Amino acid sequence: MIETVVDSGYERTGEYRDFTVFARSDTVRRVAVGDDAIVWTSAYRHAAPNLDAIIDAGTGHRLRYHEENRAFDRLITAAGSNPYLGVNTAIHDPTGRPVLMADAFRFDEDAAYQVVFYYYRQPDNVATREALERGLREEDYRFTSEAETFDVAVDDRLATVETRIPLDDTDELPPEYDLPQVTWGLTQEDEPARATVRHEAGESVPANRLFYDLEYQSAPGGIDKHPLWPEQRSIDRGSTATVDLKDRPEARGLNLVYSTGDVRFHVLFGADLQRTTDD
């Protein structure tokens, strides 16, 4: 495992507890490799990356969040273990009330089941079952587009909303659920001003699905796709593409974008065009 990490652009930076720690010089990503666990943080994916704190929690040297936060514990206890589970602690329910939310999927042979749990932050501001049902009729907030009917239950400060989605006959997985597993790297140069995207390790990716987007302070959040490898069919380990930044001095970030349809996309990787740190 350590050899694989090093070969994909990481450099060893030291040890923490019983983990060997690695970091990248191009973006703020760190990896710790232990005997039975791998820990990963990214300043792009995580608002406040703290590799040491995750290791401390996993090894029993620090309380986990659910051990310190009763509301979060109630939420994840209700959600249980699912093939897919996402948690958001700063969101609202379909009626606009502030909640902690867990969004879970499970599957059987015939259907997928989406179950969303809302734990209300304010005990005197809990939605009734009728209010939730009304809110879901007006806007199927956070639910898959195939959802048509909802089963709603409210128990004290915890609400549960479940929907069943029949599976179709196709064996093909939609591209948005089959994203490429790749380590991407980025190098930057001042003279000439340019950035180079690099496939460090992982599976091959169709070139016609890969684009780059530049971030500007004047247009935050917008995505404008530009082809990266217009002359190639497949992008493999070692492939590189260079983005000319000479005439784009206002660009503040670069995103690698994976197209999953005509207007649908997923950002695989992003980096500031000005160096940041993880400390």
Q: What is the CA radius of gyration of the chain?
A: 22
Residue 90 pLDDT greater than 70, yes or no: yes
Residue 96 pLDDT greater than 90, yes or no: yes
Q: Which of 103, 136, 166 is the last residue of a domain?
A: 166
How far is residue 209's CA from residue 261's CA, in Å, rounded to a whole number?
9
Any idea what the CATH number is for the domain that residue 246 is in? 2.60.40
What is the count of structural domains for the chain? 3
Alpha carbon of residue 6 to chain centroid:
23
Residue 194 pLDDT greater than 80, yes or no: yes
> Is residue 279, in this structure, part of any structural domain at all?
no
> Is residue 211, in this structure, part of any structural domain at all?
yes
- What Cα–Cα distance (Å) separates residue 234 from each residue in 116, 148, 205, 209, 266? 38, 39, 6, 10, 18
> Is residue 277, in this structure, part of any structural domain at all?
no
Residue 90 shares a structural domain with residue 137: yes
Of 224 and 67, the structure prediction assigns the larger pLDDT to 67
Residue 197 shares a structural domain with residue 225: yes
Q: Which residues contact 59 (CB under 8 A, 6 or more apart)?
A: 17, 18
CA angle at residue 149 from 148 to 153, to 5 degrees? Answer: 145
Residue 182 shares a structural domain with residue 222: yes
Residue 149 shares a structural domain with residue 186: no
Residue 148 shares a structural domain with residue 194: no
Residue 83 shares a structural domain with residue 48: no
Q: What is the pTM of this model?
A: 0.69
End-to-end Cα, the chain, rounded Å = 25
Q: What is the pLDDT of residue 170?
A: 64
How far is residue 66's CA from residue 74's CA, in Å, rounded to a whole number?
8
> Is residue 197, in this structure, part of any structural domain at all?
yes
Host domain of residue 189: 175-272
Residue with tokens 């401390």: 56
Residue 230 shares a structural domain with residue 262: yes
Residue 18 pLDDT greater than 60, yes or no: yes
> Is residue 278, in this structure, part of any structural domain at all?
no
Alpha carbon of residue 212 to chain centroid:
18
> Is residue 199, in this structure, part of any structural domain at all?
yes
In tens, the pLDDT along 116-130 reads 999 999 999 999 999
Read off the pLDDT band of 72 (50, 70, 90).
very high
Residue 42 shares a structural domain with residue 79: no
Residue 136 shares a structural domain with residue 45: no
Residue 36 shares a structural domain with residue 70: no
Residue % of the chain over a pLDDT of 90: 58
Residue 90 shares a structural domain with residue 119: yes
> Is residue 91, in this structure, part of any structural domain at all?
yes
Q: What is the pLDDT of residue 142?
A: 65
228-252 average pLDDT score: 94
Residue 264 pLDDT greater than 90, yes or no: no
Q: Which of 137, 166, 195 is the last residue of a domain?
A: 166
Residue 157 shares a structural domain with residue 78: yes
Residue 182 burial class via C-beta count within 10 angstroms: exposed 0-12, middle 13-18, buried 19 and up:
buried
Are 266 and 223 within 8 A, CB to CB? no
